[in-house]
Structure formats: structure tokens, C-alpha cells
Amino acid sequence: MSYFRTVLLVAAKDLRTELRSREQIVTLLFFALLVLVVFNFAFDFTIIDFVSLGGGILWVAFIFSGVLALGRSFQIEREQDRIQGILMAPVDRSAFYLGKVCATFLFMAAVEAVLVPVTVILFNFPFGPRVGAALLVLVLNTLGFAAVGTLFAAITTQTRRGELLLPLLLFPAAVPLALSAVRSTSHILAGRPFDRYSSWIALSGAYDLIFLTTAILLFDYVLDE
């Protein structure tokens, strides 16, 4: 049981730190909003249909702010030199990994929770009655992104070119998630039936399972001994 307790403690620590300073969440939100605004100017939505582009725009905003969240997630540990304490703790290091994944997931979820209504307003678009499916898409894809991203961020934040390396490694690895997320969201925005995108959701679920497991197994090798 102490494994799960550790996971919750790590996640709670990150959340509590953030609730006190609120600096990270505000940065993430504004960055994601700016991405949306840029897209608002980038395409002429009187001519182009938002339905076909909306999924892509949303997920670009989520992914870019997600990369920021990931980088920051480990940077703060390094700043306070807390890594030593973590390495000395008598718990499996993967518990620390899962705690970080939870925290990152929650930060990204917070951004998404704000951004989706804003998108509806900014682009004048109803998200439709498929809230349950939309939530499933958001949760599964954000989780997968947080899972692989946390593993890579743990590595790249230990290097000098970390900020460049994280997207370089993460974006190609997260291609299936990006595809699944954008396709599912596009189908939802277009109001298409669930079985049109159920296989994409299954793909995301499988991806999450495979890479969470892999990362849990591999995380031991990531932090310096």
C-alpha cells in the first residue's frame, strides 16, 4: 500500500505547491489561449469550416502547453535539489514517476477544462451532446501524453539542451496519440456516431496501457544513481 500512498503524496505535493503559487497554471492557461488566438488569425474561419480544423487546433494548444508543464514539472525538483531525497527514499522509483504523471495530467486537464468552453465561445461552435465521449477522448489522450512525456522529461531535464530535446523526442513518439486525439475530436465536433471513432479511442487506451507499463519498468534507469 505504501506504493500508492507515495504516488498520491507526490501528486499532492505538486498540486499543493501549485495551489500556493499559482504561477504555473496561469502560464499554461495563457499560453494555450494564445495558441488559440493565433489560430483564430491564422485561418479565415468565414471560409474554412471549424469542424475540420477544430480538433487539430485544440490539440496543438493542449500539446504545446503540455510540453511546458512537463518541463516545469522536473525543473522544480532540480531547482530545490530534491532529486537526492527522492533517490534515497525506500520506495520503488516508479511510484515517483506515477505521482508526476498524475500531477501533469491534472495540470493539463485544468487547461483543457478552461480551453474547451473558450473555444466554443471564440469560434462560435457547439461541442454537441457527446460530452461523455469528449471526456473519454480528453482523458485517454492526455494520460498517454503525460505518461510518455514524464518519462522523457525526466531524462531531458537532466541535459543542457533539455528544452529542445523534449519536443524532439516526445512529438514523434506521441504521433499515434496526436492522430487519435485529433481524429476523435473532429468526429465529435462533426456530430458523427460513436462507432466512427471508437477504434481511435481503443488505440489511445492501448497506447496508454503499453507505455505506462513500459515507463514504470524503465523509470529506474532514468534518474542518476
Partner 1 sequence: MPARRGILDLAQTILFVIVLVLVPLCLYVVFAVVPTESRMGVVQRIFYFHVPSAICAFLGVGVCAGASALYLWKRDRRFDLLAHAGAELAVVFCSIVLISGPIWARPVWGVWWTGEARLTSTLVLWLIFVGYLVLRGSADNPDQAARWGAVVAIVGALDVPIIYKSVAWWRGLHPRVLKATGGQGLDPTMERALMLCMLTFVLLFTYLIIQRCRLGRLQDDVQALVHAARRGSLPAART
Interface residue list for partner 1 (CB under 8 A): 148, 151-152, 155-156, 158-161, 165, 168-169, 171-173, 175-176, 179-180, 183, 199-200, 203, 206-207, 210-211, 214-215, 218, 221-222, 224
Nearer to partner 1, 15 or 173 (CB): 173
* DSSP label of 129: S
Minimum CB separation from partner 1 for residue 7, in Å? 20
**Residues shown for the chain:** 225
Minimum CB separation from partner 1 for residue 162, in Å? 8
Minimum CB separation from partner 1 for residue 65, in Å? 21
Nearer to partner 1, 113 or 168 (CB): 168
Minimum CB separation from partner 1 for residue 68, in Å? 19
Nearer to partner 1, 95 or 148 (CB): 148
Nearer to partner 1, 16 or 160 (CB): 160
Nearer to partner 1, 51 or 155 (CB): 155
* DSSP label of 130: -
* Separation between Cα atoms, residue 105 and residue 99, nearest integer Å: 10
CA distances from 165 to 85, 152, 155, 188 (A): 26, 9, 9, 33
Cβ atoms of 150 and 71 within 8 Å: the answer is no
Minimum CB separation from partner 1 for residue 206, in Å? 8
Cβ atoms of 52 and 7 within 8 Å: the answer is no
Angle at 158 between CA 156 and CA 223, to 5 degrees: 95
From 154, 156, 117, 151, select the one nearest 134 (Cα to Cα): 117
CA distances from 41 to 61, 82, 122 (A): 14, 43, 12
Minimum CB separation from partner 1 for residue 221, in Å? 5
Nearer to partner 1, 29 or 57 (CB): 57
